[in-house]
Structure 1
Amino acid sequence: MQTRDLSEHAVYRAGEGSEEVARELGLDPDDLVKLSSNENPLGPSPAAMTAIREAASEVHVYPKSAHTDLVAAIADQWELTPSQVWLANGGDGALDYLSRALLDPGAAVLVPEPGFAYYGMSARYHHGRVRSYSLRAEEGFTQSADAVLDVYDGERIVYLTSPHNPTGTVVDLADVERIAEETNEDTLVVVDEAYGEFAETPSAVRLVEGREGWDAREDVAVLRTFSKAYGLAGLRLGYAVVPEPWAGAYARVNTPFAASTVACRAGLAALDDREHVERTVESAVWAREYLESELDTKTHESEGNFVLAKVSDATAVAEAAQRRGVIVRDCTSFGLPECVRVSCGTREETERAVSVLNEVLAG
Structure 2
Amino acid sequence: MFDEKKEWKQIWDKAPQVGAALAMWKLPYQRQQFLLQDLSGGVQVEVSELEQLGPGFLISPFIGLPYFLSASHLSQSLVNDNPSEPIPTIKPVEVFEDKLLFQDQVASSVEQIKQGQFQKVVLSRVDVKDLAANFDLVDAFDRLCQTYPSAFVSAIYLPALQDVWLCATPETLVSQNSAGIFKTISLAGTQSALDADGNFLSPSEARWSQKEIEEQAYVSRYIIDCFKKIRLREYIENGPKTVLAGNLMHLKTEYLVDTRKYSYPGLITQMLSLLHPTSAVCGTPKEAALEWILQTERHDRVLYSGYLGPINQHDETHLFVNLRTVQMKGEQAYYYAGCGITEDSDPEKEWQETGMKCQTLQRVINASF
Which structure would you say has the larger RCO, counting Cα contacts within 8 Å and 6 or more residues apart? Answer: 2
TM-score normalised per structure 2: 0.25
- The structure with more helix, counted as a fraction of residues: 1
More strand by share: 2
